[in-house]
Amino acid sequence: MRIGITGTGSYIPSLITKNEDFLEHNFFEVDGSSFEYQNDVIIEKFKTITGIQERRYAKPEFNTSDLGHLAAERAIVDAKIDKESLDYIIFAHNFGDVSHGKIQGDTLPSLATRVKHKLGIKNTGCVAYDMLFGCPGWLEGVIQAHAFIKSGIAKKCLVIGGETLSRVVDEHDRDSMIYSDGAGAAVIEAQENNGEILSHITATHANGEAYYLYFDKTNDQEGCTNTRYIKMHGRKIYEFACTHVPKAMKDCLDKSGVPIERVKKIFIHQANEKMDEAIVSRFYGLYGMEMPSDIMPMIIDTMGNNSVATIPTLLDQVRKGELPEHSLKKEDVVIFASVGAGMNINAIVYQV
């Protein structure tokens, strides 16, 4: 039996925030000083580096668990399974449910339990738990689901990645323009004619790198010093990712035994367009090859970086034909790769 993805679903929030909507923001350096450039210049540089032109935010009445539930429903329908047959629900996120206008993350009960409740699943043998693993959380959830099924303790797993990062960003930090909201989900199960996870690899770099992403106060020196927001050392993350992710991808591909020429697509965490291009280019460079022009589907330009939701959302869009320039067919080999807070890296080689 081949263990793989039998259904996908995603929920893309309806509120669109364009780059020009940040023109009136008061951005400050970490020490509270003003930037040398005006906002129009800051925003143009931001677009050039990240590729982001707009991002999606959840409506005030929706929390992360709501987005995850909507994505999960679609994945279950796509997989054509009975929801009561699920053995595990794994929900990858980083901040829990942060209600609109509030500053606390809520994980009591877990988001996976909330989704199970919203789905109306009565089977008590369906175990629901959350995954905190930074942006690579959804991929790590898939890796765990694969292990559960391979070991025989599960037959069907639902893995969700969801986030409402718009509610944990500092409006006075220019990095706030990167983050967005959304959710994606996939059903993992064993079937004879299924897609198949061929290999996977995971690593945690915490010897000096642990706090490249962290929580801290606003850049506005007159703001509340007790409220914390997502912060990052952008240059360090860029250098870290470009150094370590290509090698992890190569190790994973070599482990699978599949030649690089068979790789049709690379689904990489939509973090920063230039960084993702550099990672994939360096990955091919490790094989003495040039990066193919159509290898890397991207949706960051209109979706922003919604952390754990980026890869499952991207995969769902390609599978459903919503990115006409990219498609998958039976037996195609693809690579999934992600990097994020922790600092965690993982990759999966997958045959469709």
Domain boundaries, the chain: 2-194, 198-351
For the chain, helix, strand, coil in percent to 5 are: 35, 25, 40
Tell me the per-residue pLDDT of 79-113, one tens digit each, with 9 for 90 and over. 999 999 999 999 999 999 999 988 889 999 999 99
Once rounded to an integer, what is the mean pLDDT over residues 4-10? Answer: 97
Give the pairing type, strands 156-164 and 181-191: antiparallel
Phi, psi of 57 (to 5 degrees): -120, 145
Would strands 333-340 and 263-268 be described as parallel, antiparallel, or unpaired?
Answer: parallel
Tens of pLDDT, residues 135-174: 999 999 999 999 999 999 999 999 999 999 999 999 999 9
Task: Give the Cα-Cα-Cα angle 276, 277, 279 (nearest 5 degrees).
Answer: 65
Across 244-283, b (16+ Cβ under 10 Å) vs e yields bbbbbbbebbbebebebeebbbbbbbbbbbebbebbbbbb
Residue range 274-324, pLDDT digits in tens: 999 999 999 999 999 999 999 999 999 999 999 999 999 999 999 999 999
- Higher-confidence residue: 32 or 120? 120
Q: What is the predicted pLDDT for the residue at 303? A: 96
Instruction: Give the model's pLDDT for residue 292.
Output: 95
Which percentage of the chain shows pLDDT scores above 90? Answer: 91
State how far the Cα of 105 lies from the Cα of 279, in Å rounded to an integer: 32
Mean residue pLDDT across the chain: 95
What kind of architecture, by CATH, is found in domain 198-351?
Answer: 3-Layer(aba) Sandwich (3.40)
Could you tell me the pLDDT band of residue 193, with boundaries at 50, 70 and 90? confident
Contact 90, 312 (CB under 8 A): no
Kind plus residue range of the DSSP H or E element containing 289: none
Please state, in angstroms and as integers, the Cα–Cα distance from residue 345 to each residue in 158, 297, 301, following that order.
21, 20, 23
How far is residue 186 from each of residues 28, 48, 246, 295, measured CA to CA in Å? Answer: 39, 32, 25, 22
What pLDDT, on a 0 to 100 scale, did the predictor assign at position 104?
86
Catalytic residues: 135, 269, 305
Residue 55 has pLDDT above 90, yes or no: yes
E strand segments, 13-111 = 15-18, 54-57, 88-92
Please give the order of strands across the beta sheet that includes 344-351. Answer: 196-204, 344-351, 333-340, 263-268
Distances (CA, A) of 131 to 135, 161, 253: 11, 9, 25
- pLDDT-derived band at 225 (thresholds 50, 70, 90) equals confident
Q: Write out pLDDT tens, residues 113-136.
A: 999 999 999 999 999 999 999 999
Query: Can you tell me the mean pLDDT for 257-273?
Result: 96
Who contacts 165 (Cβ-Cβ below 8 Å, separation ≥6)?
A: 95, 179, 180, 181, 230, 305, 306, 307
What pLDDT does 223 receive? 83
State which CATH number among 3.40.50.1240, 3.40.50.300, 3.90.245.10, 3.40.47.10 fits the domain covering 2-194: 3.40.47.10
